[in-house]
Amino acid sequence: MSISTVGVDISKATFDAARFGAEGKCKHKKFANAAEGFAAFLAWLIAFGGDKPLVCMEATGAYGIPLAEFLAAQGWPVSVVNPAKIHAFAGSELSRAKTDKADAKLIARFAREKQPALWTPPPLDIRELQVLLRRVEDLLEMRQMEQNRLDTADAAVAASIQAVLALLGQELEATRERIRRHIGDNPDLRRRRDLLESIPGVGEASAAHLLVALSEHYGFASAKQATAHAGLAPRLKESGQWKGKTRLPKTGDPLLRKALYMPAPPWSPGGTTPPSAPSASASRPTARAAKPSPAPPCASSSTSPSPSSNPASPSTRI
């Protein structure tokens, strides 16, 4: 049985909406991406009557979240999906047209066929923490850009760049302090932060990103779902007897992977052993010692030890 779906293609100033009714007919209209446009869009939907259709849109960040929050607050079913899913669906249809109207129709057909899960708005405390963390990343990028300019700057502009760097440093520290206060003033966030920071390698910055990524509003039922959401689940490539390289899909939040990069190397297979874990030699049974080989007839007591017996030898250092 066909259901009514609405596809929304969002840009900075406007958004296109395409509605497929149960009978399969499509209606299209363009609205302003502002409060008055939201109200007009809602009136347009209500005018069709019947049950509330599923409204589906791509995850476009700051451009789409206000509309999604508005519709969810009005009790309308909303799905916010990864743009990669829409792109793959378009490929399955061999779609060639690329316009705002065509994209809105494509999203509506995707929602009717795939029935994506409903979107849950993030709690206000998580939303504010997410905004503050993104502001920190913006300030870090701007500071790095100014630092790169300073490295090759003429003396005539060096003082100006240094002044901007000082200002960015002040703003960066002030924003980080706001994050500390925001978490510290919230009992639930503070409790979860303390648990996260008890993990070896996880510090203040990583814990803040994990608080957003593992928020309860995502509804993860298992660790595997959270790993896939973060884009950290390995992507296997095998076909018959051929086995390709296993890589990360990198389809999740790039800021989260960046925050987890520094804690990860010390505990990776190529890094050192965590302090709490037993060493490999301690966990294996001791092998029977081999008989020492007899010394050569010409060897003397002054002969220097071999590299294998020298504790400072490069071959024995870890």
pLDDT in tens, 111-141: 999 999 899 888 899 999 999 999 999 999 9
DSSP the chain: ----EEEEEE-SSEEEEEEE-TTS-EEEEEEESSHHHHHHHHHHHHHT-SSPPEEEEE--GGGTHHHHHHHHHTT--EEEE-HHHHHHHHHHTT----SHHHHHHHHHHHHHHH-PPPP-PPPHHHHHHHHHHHHHHHHHHHHHHHHHHHHT--HHHHHHHHHHHHHHHHHHHHHHHHHHHHHHT-HHHHHHHHHHHTSTT--HHHHHHHHHHT-GGG---SHHHHHHHTT-S-B--EETTEE---B----S-HHHHHHHHTTSGGGSTTSPPPTTSPPHHHHSPPPPPPPPPPPPTT--TTPPPPGGG-TT-TTT--
Query: In this predicted structure, what is the pLDDT of residue 214?
Result: 84
Whether the pLDDT of residue 68 is over 60: the answer is yes
Lowest mean pLDDT among 97-106, 211-220, 250-259: 250-259
pLDDT in tens, 11-26: 999 999 999 987 778 9
Q: Where do the structural domains in the chain lie, given as residue ranges?
A: 5-114, 124-229
Domain 5-114 class, CATH top level: alpha beta
pTM of the model: 0.70
Query: In this predicted structure, what is the pLDDT of residue 122?
Result: 87
pLDDT in tens, 276-317: 444 444 444 444 445 555 555 444 444 444 444 444 444 333
pLDDT in tens, 45-62: 999 888 899 999 998 878
Whether the pLDDT of residue 171 is over 90: the answer is yes
Query: In this predicted structure, what is the pLDDT of residue 249?
Result: 77
What band does 201 get if pLDDT is binned at 50, 70 and 90?
confident
